[in-house]
Amino acid sequence: MQSKKIRHEFPYKIKGPLFEPKRFKIFYGGRSSGKSNSVARFLVLQAHKNPVRILCTRELQNSLKDSVWKLLSDVIHEFELTDFFTINKDGIHGRNGSEFIFIGLKNDPKKVKSTESIDYCFCEEAESITEESWDLLIPTIRKSNSEIIVVFNPSDELDPTYQRFIAPFQSDLDSNDGIYLDDRHTVVKMNYADNPFLPDEAIEEMRVCKVNDYKKYLHIWQGEVLADYEDSVIDPLWVRASIDAHIKLGFKPMGVRSLGYDCADKGKDSKAFMVRHGSVIVDGKQWHDGDISDANDRVYEYASGNRIDHIVYDAIGVGAAVKEYFRRMQGNNSITVKGFVGSEAPHNPEGKYKEDRYNQDVFRNARAQAFWHLRDRFEATYQAIEKGDYVDPDKMISLSSDIPDIKVLISELSRIQRKRSNNTSIQIESKDDMARRGMPSPGMADSLMYCFQNKAVNVNNPEWNTPLNM
């Protein structure tokens, strides 16, 4: 049978990952990105080229109308392959023996389990697929070189699909333009901006949504999970407004140079530091390689070479080793080094927050107090930029767009949530809390918070203000 030459186009971001064989191919993100259409086109091309069996599934599928049957049929018509494929209520069949099978995971689990010799499994609207269904499906697709292709728009970060395929790779996705690759996984985040074939109607709908409800826009059009913003400490609108705020408002970096250092000690958590010059965040880095000794060397070398006045580090976990390291270091510079313990009582407990309530009544601990003050800076910056309200630059914050991993920083800042409890004081979720909901440790966000703590005084810790001359 002579193969027909088919003209086809794909969004650039998905084309390579689609055609590169992998056990799991995950495409997620916002509306109108071309994810589902691209996968359908890919599968039709594969079915036309070789005899393959393709299982098309989702959690609930009561009829073909609930499946990707219509999408595949439209692609077949677009490619002018109606003489090659037979489209009927039983499925879609190719003249070369290719077959598209449509089964709902929850509707007919026994039928799914008995399906054999599947080359490709297309999981659409996968945000709804349960852990039980994944445990059923994945072992079923066991043919050599078979592929499971997952497409979804994220809803909740605790959904099994998000936890299985996105959360473990979140830091890499944030820092690599929404792409993660390893020997078994291809994960690509796609949004409307990645789709060059986006119709004008969708563009206008996106613009209206962005103006009327920015958080809804982030969820629907940028593929961000709802849980990221429902109870965020720092509004993502405020974070984005702060980028290059010093340029927008015409003030310069000046004053103290403080470095915040998150010396992560758990598993694959990234190590990170952030640097501020006055109220401008001028630099920051994150990395995963090396041990704590390597990280200490990197931070010390940076601090010594960049006129840093203060270093504030996470004193929990490996903090004792960090403290000892800096004690041993000698040099011509005098850098004040402090350890920050988030679980301690708020600093200046009998002082008042905004001339209202006592710090010890407002904040559960030092971590809550530190992040809430950071929140105040972002809000003040937003008010100055968007509302034209005058704010003292020393009370604002500006994120330089030159920071190498600024996308990671923005993402982490927007994910940190308030922890609700019966206690009326403000409490911020801990790193362990974030880990329990599948989120990686926010190394850059924590480092940003630390670098504003050089002036803080903890009356319960006499060593807090002890300078370590190096």
The pLDDT of residue 467? 38
Cα Rg of the chain, angstroms: 26
Boundary of a domain, candidates 194, 220, 252: 194
According to DSSP, the β-strands at 85-88 and 91-94 are: antiparallel
- If asked whether residues 294 and 189 sit together in one domain, one would say no
Average pLDDT value for residue range 211-219: 81
- If asked whether residues 393 and 269 sit together in one domain, one would say yes
The pLDDT of residue 461? 39
> Tokens 């590169």 — which residue?
20
pLDDT at 41 over 90: yes
Q: When comparing pLDDT for 424 and 274, which is higher?
A: 274
Position 458 confidence tier, pLDDT thresholds 50, 70, 90: very low
pLDDT at 399 over 90: yes
List C-alpha distances in Å: 92 to 36, 59, 86, 196, 319. 17, 20, 6, 29, 61
Quote the Cα angle for 161-286-406, to 5°. 80
In a domain, 40, yes or no: yes
Boundary of a domain, candidates 166, 194, 222: 194
Position 96 confidence tier, pLDDT thresholds 50, 70, 90: very high
Number of domains in the chain: 2
Average pLDDT value for residue range 56-73: 84
Q: Of 276, 275, 273, 250, which Cα lies nearest the Cα of 263?
A: 273
Element (H, E) at 443: helix 443-450
In a domain, 288, yes or no: yes
In this prediction, what percent of the chain has a pLDDT beyond 90? 54
- If asked whether residues 189 and 235 sit together in one domain, one would say no
Per residue in 365-374, pLDDT tens? Answer: 999 999 999 9
In a domain, 354, yes or no: yes
In a domain, 44, yes or no: yes
In a domain, 43, yes or no: yes
The CATH number given to whatever domain includes residue 190 is 3.40.50.300
Q: What are phi and psi of 413, to 5 degrees?
A: -60, -35
Buried-exposed string 344-382: b where 16+ CB fall within 10 A, e elsewhere = bbbbbbeeebeeeeebbebbbbbbbbbbbbbbbbbbbbb
Q: What is the identity of the amino acid at 435?
A: A
In a domain, 202, yes or no: no
Contact present, 59 and 104 (Cβ < 8 Å): yes
- If asked whether residues 91 and 136 sit together in one domain, one would say yes
Instruction: Provide the Cα torsion 341, 419, 219, 388; round to 10°.
Output: -70
Position 425 confidence tier, pLDDT thresholds 50, 70, 90: confident
- If asked whether residues 385 and 269 sit together in one domain, one would say yes
Side by side, the strands of the sheet bearing 179-181 are 85-88, 91-94, 99-104, 53-58, 120-123, 147-152, 24-29, 185-190, 179-181
The pLDDT of residue 7? 61
Token output for 12? 């650039």
Position 267 confidence tier, pLDDT thresholds 50, 70, 90: low
The pLDDT of residue 462? 38
> Tokens 């961000």 — which residue?
224
- If asked whether residues 106 and 249 sit together in one domain, one would say no
- If asked whether residues 243 and 370 sit together in one domain, one would say yes
**Backbone dihedral region for residue 211 (phi beyond 0: left; psi -120 to 50: alpha; all else: beta):** alpha
The pLDDT of residue 411? 82
Neighbours of 467 (CB within 10 A): 11
pLDDT at 383 over 70: yes
pLDDT at 438 over 70: no
Range in 22-31, 33-42, 119-128, 208-217 with the lowest mean pLDDT: 208-217
- If asked whether residues 264 and 172 sit together in one domain, one would say no
- If asked whether residues 185 and 311 sit together in one domain, one would say no
In a domain, 18, yes or no: yes
- If asked whether residues 166 and 255 sit together in one domain, one would say no
How far apart CA 176 and CA 286 sit, in angstroms, is 13
Instruction: Give the pTM.
Output: 0.68
Cβ within 8 Å of residue 124, ≥6 positions away: 36, 56, 57, 58, 67, 68, 151, 152
- If asked whether residues 175 and 278 sit together in one domain, one would say no
Per residue in 294-352, pLDDT tens? Answer: 889 999 999 989 999 999 998 887 767 788 888 777 555 678 888 899 999 999 999 88
In this prediction, what percent of the chain has a pLDDT beyond 70? 90
How far apart CA 306 and CA 433 sit, in angstroms, is 34
pLDDT at 124 over 80: yes
Contact present, 217 and 400 (Cβ < 8 Å): no
Q: When comparing pLDDT for 329 and 26, which is higher?
A: 26
Average pLDDT value for residue range 369-389: 93
What is the sign, positive or negative, of the torsion defined by CA atoms of 14, 17, 19, 23?
negative
Domain that holds residue 45: 12-194
Per residue in 164-210, pLDDT tens? Answer: 999 888 888 888 889 999 999 999 999 999 999 988 899 999 999 88
3-state secondary structure 312-357: EEECCCCHHHHHHHHHHCCCCCCCEEEEECCCCCCCCCCCEECCCE
In a domain, 7, yes or no: no
Boundary of a domain, candidates 143, 177, 194: 194
The CATH number given to whatever domain includes residue 297 is 3.30.420.240
Average pLDDT value for residue range 369-388: 93
- If asked whether residues 185 and 310 sit together in one domain, one would say no
List C-alpha distances in Å: 337 to 213, 306, 312. 43, 15, 6
Instruction: Work out the mean pLDDT of the chain and round it to a whole number.
Output: 87
